[in-house]
Structure 1
Amino acid sequence: FERVATNIAAADAKFESSGDVDRTTRKFLRLLSNRLFLPNSPTLMNAGQRLGQLAACFVLPIEDSMESIFEPLKHTAVIHKSGGGTGFSFSKIRPQNDVVLSTAGISSGPISFMSVFDTATETVKQGGTRRGANMGLLRVDHPDIEAFIESKNDLEKLNNFNISVALTRGFMGALEKGSQYDLINPRTSNTKGSISARKIFDKIVFSAWQSGEPGVVFIDRINEKNPTPHLGNIEATNPCGEQPLLPYESCTLGSIDLSKMVDKNSINLSRLKKTIHDAVHFLDNVIEINNYPLRRIEEMSKGTRKIGLGVMGFADMLIKMGIPYDSEKAVVQAEKIMSFISHESRKASANLAKKRGNFPFYKGSIFDNDSTPYMRNATTTTIAPTGTISIIADTSGGIEPIFAVAHQRHVLDGKTLYETHPLFVKLAKEAGFYNKALAGEIVKTGSIQSIDTIPDHIKKCFRTSHDIAPEWHIRIQSTFQKYTDNAVSKTVNFPADATPEQVKKVYRLAYETGCKGVT
């Protein structure tokens, strides 16, 4: 933490006197060592190291030519080697069997090129600091959409990709009416036939039910919220879908541990406010100090200065407050907390802009008006999955429910250890029903809902992701989305006996409640 705090605080020297750098180092060290806030893994791993690449998320553009496909492939390898993840839209590549004028041959289509990126990722990840990951998107009006939807049904293929279909407002309108919609050849912009929206939606749903993919991204909604529309349209997101970005943009993420904001069953708003302001300062410094893998990425990233402050420990926070995850009270807390983080992070960004200047692409942005004369960052909030950093913080991941109340961990000498949620152990001991045999019983399923010896009020607070109805997952996601500049990474868990109809309901509910996507 000392290495990270010292390295990130050094950016202050560009804007303040040297005395302030020491003060900032102490401030950042306090923030990190108390684990009130942690930045994304590349920042923790690479700050103050030779590599110095600190961003987690990148989007690279892919056009319809060999040069514009294989140039990003090279850039992808460089990004993955440095610990970043990449997103691409393959929507501009001409469809399979379309004409290739230069060779008088036929095109192999976008999915064949996705396989090339997949193989490259597999090769790079074996020597990298952490596994490379990709997001592949295809617009729903691309002629190869059916093949794309089913591209991961073979579990041996595209294992280094998450895939999502970019659903348009036109498609959702056709789905509502039960009508056809047009498929467009990206090479010519001409219609290449039409197809039933319900047929395609059912295919998406069935494939997701079968293999968990594709997810869906509501691409027009994302662009309606694009803070810099004068720079172009957003076409893709990072691998987990929470960070829509323009071509060559990167974003640095970080998350506040909400479980550490609870005092006596309520949120300590003054502690949360200070943490937000310190975290925005930290993330803005990361943009300055980052060693970018490409000059073009540096220009775009410093031009928009997007940061993504989010949360982790939401489920643990609710448990500490005695609130079930699948309850109206939890929705109220989500609204209260995220609206506060949104408001304060913008305020912190504006305060930084007064000292350091607005983000360079401010003119023409949604902030270019009298009500927001100062803004340092084009976005300030993102809800990430926090897989690695939530383990370091010893808290629940992102805004997800707890995954299990107890689970097994196999250690090196062949022993099996039971790890039980510390808040459950504490409450169980206080209530007088905790014993070691109980942990062994919980481990069988991870859930406590069918164990008779546990009081109901404790069962309600310790519902796991599989105990919670899919509709509640979406309620929580859409509430956080309402106050998040970028997007929200959230997994909707289904029981093994779920039907395609239940998946369909959730995908539609995500659209109706204002989510930007769902997996």
Structure 2
Amino acid sequence: ETWELLLKTGKDGRRTGLGFTALADMVAALGMAIDSDEAIAKVEEIMKEKCRAEFDSSIDMSLTRGSFIGFDAEIEKTSEFVQMLEKELPDVYTRMMEHGRRNISISTVAPTGTLSMLAQTSSGIEPVFMTHYKRRRKLNEQDRKAKVDFIDDSGDKWQEFTVYHHNLKKWMEITGETDISKSPYSGSTASEIDWAKRVEMQAVVQKYITHSISSTINLPNDVSLEKVSAIYMDSWKKGL
């Protein structure tokens, strides 16, 4: 009975979750800092166009296949999101009110952790956590010719090497530059960005997303309760 209900709900609503990943890589590729005003403005421009394409497609499908069961133009008008469409995308709003849409809800921003590892990109809406870090590998008897970086108190031999964010490594290969501070990722990692701008960026994305966003705001261990409270309050005020 539960599965039948889930199947019916899925068929009635035709819910989808179109999203994206690698936002931080895209912003870096444009030569912008992820917490800059120009980056936030550019992301809003992109999200608006993404939203337009998604709703145009859903409305087109409604014309040929019918809208989702329960679509009611009068009820739609009470939705804050639909009111945003009327203001920002009036042509889309007008078509939807006339023809309905195929999908009850359309978009999201998922964590995409594993997917981003496979794609070797930054994850979802998140900034790059670290541009590079040190990794250690314990050597065994078969690694006799391997370089030994240090021996611990137990006598175990270790090799140490630097792991770079994949697209930073590409930038280094293309430019021949080894100074990371000159890269577009400089100042844009999770520990470096301004949390207020981080919230502002998410608010801009959420404005054009019909579901919620999976997101983490990284803070230092000694962060104050007041700052955490300020982040929650600012997020709430921006509609998150």
TM over 0.5: yes
Letter in 2 for 1:332: A
User: Which residue of 129, 132, 142 corresponds with 1:403?
Assistant: 129
Residue 366 in structure 1 maps to residue 76 in structure 2: yes
Q: Do the aligned partners of 2:131 and 2:185 also contact (CA within 8 Å) in 1?
A: no
1:486-509, Cα deviation, whole Å (9 max, x unpaired) = 122221111222111111111110
Query: Aligned letter for 1:314?
Result: L
Residues 375 and 367 (structure 1 numbering): CA distance in 2 closer, same or farther, change over 3 Å? farther
What is residue 425 of structure 1 aligned with on the other side?
169
SS of alignment partner, residue 18 of structure 2: strand
Q: Go from structure 1 to structure 2 and tell me whether the alpha carbon gap of 1:483 and 1:459 turns closer, same or farther (over 3 Å shift).
A: closer
CA positional deviation for 1:342: 0.8
Report how far residue 374 of structure 1 moved.
Answer: 3.1
**TM-score, normalisation: structure 1:** 0.36
- Deviation, 1:397, is 0.7
Is contact 2:44–2:205 with CA below 8 Å preserved after alignment? yes
Alpha-carbon displacement from aligned partner over 1:319-373 (angstroms, at most 9, x marks no partner): 1111111100110121011111111101111122222221122246518997411
Which residue number corresponds to residue 319 of structure 1? Answer: 28
Q: For residue 407 of structure 1, give the secondary structure of its aligned residue in structure 2.
A: strand
CA distance in 2: counterparts of 1:307 and 1:314, whole angstroms: 20
Letter in 2 for 1:466: S
CA distance in 2, matches of 1:462, 1:431: 19
* Contact 1:323–1:461 under 8 Å retained in 2: no
Q: Give the structure with the larger helix fraction.
A: 2
Q: Would the alpha carbon gap of residues 366 and 500 (structure 1) be closer, same or farther in structure 2, given more than 3 Å must change?
A: same
- Match of 2:43? 334
Give the equivalent residue in structure 2 for 1:391. 117
Amino acid at match of 1:405: T
8 A contact 1:353–1:375 mirrored in 2: yes
Q: Which has the higher contact order (CA 8 A, sep 6+)?
A: 2
Which residues in structure 2 correspond to 1:431-450 (within 5 Å)?
431-434=175-178
Residues 417 and 367 (structure 1), Cα distance of their counterparts in 2 relative to 1, 3 Å cut: farther
**Is the alpha carbon distance of 1:347 and 1:433 closer, same or farther for their aligned partners in structure 2, counting shifts above 3 Å?**
closer
Matched, 1:489 2:214: yes
- Give me the TM-score of the superposition, normalised by structure 2: 0.75
Provide the C-alpha distance between the structure 2 equivalents of 1:300 and 1:459, rounded to a whole number of angstroms. 45
Could you tell me which residue of structure 2 aligns to residue 382 of structure 1? 108
1:502 aligns with 2:212: no
Q: 1:325 to 1:295 in 2, by over 3 A?
A: same
Amino acid paired to 2:200: R
Percentage of pairs with the same residue: 27
Whether the aligned pair in 2 keeps the contact of 1:407 and 1:420 (CA below 8 Å) is: yes
Q: Which of residues 476, 491, 501 is equivalent to 2:201?
A: 476
- The alpha-carbon deviation at position 458 of structure 1 amounts to 2.1
The structure where strand makes up a greater share of residues is: 1
Unpaired runs of at least 5, structure 2 = 79-92, 141-158
Give the 3-state SS of the residue equivalent to 1:310 in structure 2: coil
Q: Which residue pairs with 2:143 in the alignment?
A: none
Structure 1 unmatched runs, 5+: 1-74, 76-292, 435-452
Q: 1:367 to 1:303 in 2, by over 3 A?
A: farther
Measure the CA separation in 2 of the matches of 1:330 and 1:459.
12
Question: Does structure 2 conserve the Cα–Cα contact (< 8 Å) formed by 1:322 and 1:461?
Answer: no
Say whether the 8 Å CA contact 1:319–1:462 is kept in structure 2: no
Deviation at 1:412, TM superposition (A): 9.0
- 1:402 Cα deviation after fit: 0.5
Letter in 2 for 1:326: D
1:288-316 CA-partner distances (Å, limit 9, x unpaired): xxxxx711111112111111111111000
- For 2:139 and 2:72, the matched residues in 1 are separated by 61
